[in-house]
């Protein structure tokens, strides 16, 4: 399951970036690896960690506090 997630994310990263600014596979893998550490191997956008800095951390990158509030505005 984790390998399929990584491959899907690599494809996504290279598809959404503007032409000429595609990430290398190593760069994409680094981003995906970090996201997997933050929200789990399934990279769940709805991930929630109630312990996250006494605020609860949300989303793929486990944002909290002002970061989360600014993102959802």
What is the model's pTM? 0.55
Q: How confident is the model at residue 8, as a pLDDT? A: 72
Q: How confident is the model at residue 39, as a pLDDT? A: 72
Regions of the chain where pLDDT drops below 50: none
Q: How far apart are alpha carbons 64 and 69 in whole angstroms? A: 8
Residues near 33 by beta carbon (within 8 Å), at least 6 away in sequence: 6
Q: How confident is the model at residue 18, as a pLDDT? A: 64
Q: How confident is the model at residue 53, as a pLDDT? A: 66
Q: How confident is the model at residue 69, as a pLDDT? A: 81
Q: How confident is the model at residue 16, as a pLDDT? A: 61
């Amino acid at each position: 399951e984790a390998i399929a997630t990584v491959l899907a994310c690599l494809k996504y990263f290279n598809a959404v970036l503007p032409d000429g600014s595609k990430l290398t596979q190593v760069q994409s893998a680094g981003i995906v690896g970090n996201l997997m550490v933050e929200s789990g191997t399934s990279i769940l956008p709805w991930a929630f960690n109630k312990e996250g800095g006494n605020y609860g951390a949300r989303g793929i990158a486990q944002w909290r506090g002002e970061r989360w509030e600014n993102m959802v505005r």
